[in-house]
Chains A and B, each alone.
Chain A
Amino acid sequence: MKEKKALHRFAIALMFLYLFMPLIATFLYSIATDWHDTVLPKGLTLSWYVKLFQDVRFVAALGRTLFACSVAVGLNIAVIVVSLFIVSLYLPKLERFLQAFVMLPYAIPGVIGAVGLIKVYSSGPLAISGTVWLLIGAYFVVILPYTYQGTRNSMRTVDLPQLVSAAELLGASKPKAFFKVVLPNILPGVMVAALLSFSVLFGEFVLTNLLVGGYYETVQIYLMRRMRESGHLSSAVVISYYLFVFCLSWIALKLGQNFKNGNFDNLRGKKYELPHYR
């Protein structure tokens, strides 16, 4: 059994080497002064990061990304929480029906989504093609599966209908029951879903490029355009982006652990039930 254990460990280590190699290489490249014909970089520096965050174009792209993602996630969370509250209280039969539509975006890769969106919004009464509003609409739909599942799981774990019944029997009105009892209890789960959605959108490239690429430069588009100009600078973009997503996941993980009902586990399990399109 012993040598088998060693074999297992070796195989797993090999996998990690393969999976982390690109990240490590990118990281080293982002802190290297010059590195093109030597085994190791000639010197180390943080100047690429300084340069990056002094680049007006990058900062603007970052601002645009944050704006589009925040609006989409904020709007989506508000709409989903209210809708699910109502559905699970008054129209539980509607839930399966709703779920079908809400989960559909999981199965639609960005290229397909873009074809339809461009067709509908490039002309006619709602010609918002090339504007951030089309992007926000598309983002809204992309993250529906995540926010829906996170919110629904939170509501299930606290047994929302019964909690509301209990509050009402103690004299609370529906809005009061919502704000005093339901919201505080589902908030951690909803926050986890929001963070997850945010990091998904932060890495979104396909829809962004096809829908508004020429007009609305996000971080991903910025990276795409500059990666052949300056490798070091682009490495800094990649590592910054990755650190940001890592922080979001870490906060979500902590939130999930504090929230002892295991909501985050459900969410994490679900996340990989269907593919992510790249």
Chain B
Amino acid sequence: MSYLIIDKVTKKFDGTVVLNEISLAVERGELVTLLGPSGCGKSTLLRCIAGLNEVDGGRILLNDRDITYLAPRKRGVGMVFQSYALFPNMTVYENVAFGLKMQGLKGDRIAARVREMIDLVGLAGKEESYPRELSGGQQQRVALARSMIVEPDVLLLDEPFNALDAKIRKMLQMELKNIQKKSGMTMIFVTHDQEEALTISDRIFVINEGRVAQSGKPLEIYSQPASEFVARFIGNFNVLKGEEFERLVGEPLFSGKSLAIRPEIIKLSLNGENGKGHNGSWRIKGKVVGVFLKGNILRYRVRSKDSILDVDVLNNSMDCSLNYDTSVDLVIPKDEVKVLNL
């Protein structure tokens, strides 16, 4: 049996269904991500697991215990909040020690553990600082240490890096992943940032309208989106109606379906260069209507017939970029065109 089981959990706020018989399972030691747009119910699910919201139906099992109706403090669940929720009247040390003190442990017996944990999150030397004296990133490290020290069965992280700027955010993502692997703690991470989810997760649950839209390893989710929603949400996929695509390639194959094509698998060449596509790919003529520099990637927006396709090209200085209105050929490998479920 799985370590954490969410079984048909339903939650309503004022009659609006936020979680709609959602079910999912998490294994021990995994870092899974609940990924979805704001309002999809991912945070609500997290709060239900923590016991901060009461569920209207369904069960939650953790480590073979039914915790559906337990008080938050009896669940063995830890949580890191988006706004840190550090206790402003306590120092870093006192914040981290709080959970152990609540277990009735005395000062000198916990000191070693507290210091070890502060070391682990890289805050050695800041023990006596107050939260307001720390940067956002440092505050979130304290929050992480504070919830990890009591060794909860599962640690919930509610968009913990949202308030931080991009650089610090990337660094903390890496560190979190390291810490998680080192400690082997089961973690559930909530975010609306697909890049973040792809970076840190062992598995991803894409949530939409209170249900799991798709689950799987990051690579699976990214390369095999199961639905138009996932395709649009996860990447910068080109999502086309079947009829639209048929017009482009001139083959009646996809009537009534939706297709997803990742921008980076489309090859781009100047008009007339080495003739036809291979058997395994389609060749389409088009015109560049937009060029966007995205750091290591150049994104071309290409119009072909009445469709717009985005094409990502690695930005190595050898290629000079193409100008607007340049006529180009697009080569699309057949097996990379994903047919989406509706």
Contact = CB atoms under 8 A, between A and B. Distances in A.
Interface of A: 158-159, 162-163, 165-173, 176, 180-181, 184-185, 260-261
A144 to B, nearest CB: 27
Interface string B54-94: 00000000000000000111010111010101011100000
B147 interface: yes
Contact of A171 (B73, B83, B85, B132): B73
B26 interface: no
Contacts of B72: 165, 168-169
B99 interface: yes
Interface string B26-59: 0000000000000000000000001010000000
B299 interface: no
A191 to B, nearest CB: 14
Given A165-B50, A165-B72, A260 B99 contact: no
Q: Identify which of A162, A166, A167, A180 gathers the most chain B CB atoms within 10 Å of its CB.
A: A166
Interface string B254-296: 0000000000000000000000000000000000000000000
Interface string B139-157: 0000000110010100000
A177 to B, nearest CB: 9
Interface of A is mostly: helix
B98 to A, nearest CB: 5
Nearest to A162: B85
B150 A171 contact: yes
Contacts of A184: 89
Given A170-B146, A171-B73, A173-B73, A165 B102 contact: no
A169 B22 CA distance: 23
B81 A162 contact: yes
A110 B81 CA distance: 47
B144 to A, nearest CB: 12
A170 B102 contact: yes
Given A168-B72, A170-B146, A171-B99, A181 B87 contact: yes
A102 to B, nearest CB: 25
Contact of B88 (A158, A170, A173): A158
7 tightest CB-CB pairs across the interface, nearest first?
A: A171-B102, A170-B99, A166-B85, A184-B89, A168-B72, A168-B73, A162-B85
Contacts of B50: 165, 169
Interface string B102-144: 1100000000000000000000000000001000000000000
Contacts of B98: 167, 170, 172, 180
9 contacts: A165-B52, A166-B87, A167-B87, A169-B73, A170-B102, A171-B73, A171-B102, A184-B89, A260-B132
Nearest to B81: A162
A111 B124 CA distance: 62
B77 A169 contact: yes
B290 to A, nearest CB: 44
Contacts of A185: 87-89
Given A169-B79, A180-B98, 14 more contacts: A158-B88, A159-B85, A162-B85, A166-B79, A166-B81, A166-B85, A166-B87, A167-B87, A169-B50, A169-B147, A169-B152, A171-B102, A172-B98, A261-B88
Interface in B129-188: 132, 146-147, 150, 152
A160 to B, nearest CB: 10
Contacts of A167: 87, 98, 102
A163 B73 CA distance: 13
A6 B78 CA distance: 62
Contact of A172 (B79, B102, B152): B102
Contacts of B52: 165
Contacts of B99: 170-171
A216 B152 CA distance: 60
B199 to A, nearest CB: 26
B79 A171 contact: no
Nearest to A176: B102
A205 to B, nearest CB: 39
Nearest to A184: B89
B17 to A, nearest CB: 20
A253 to B, nearest CB: 20
B48 to A, nearest CB: 13
A169 B89 contact: no
Contacts of A163: 85, 87
A115 to B, nearest CB: 42
B152 to A, nearest CB: 8
Nearest to B82: A162
Contacts of A181: 87, 89
A168 B85 CA distance: 12
Nearest to A166: B85
Nearest to A171: B102
A160 B93 CA distance: 21
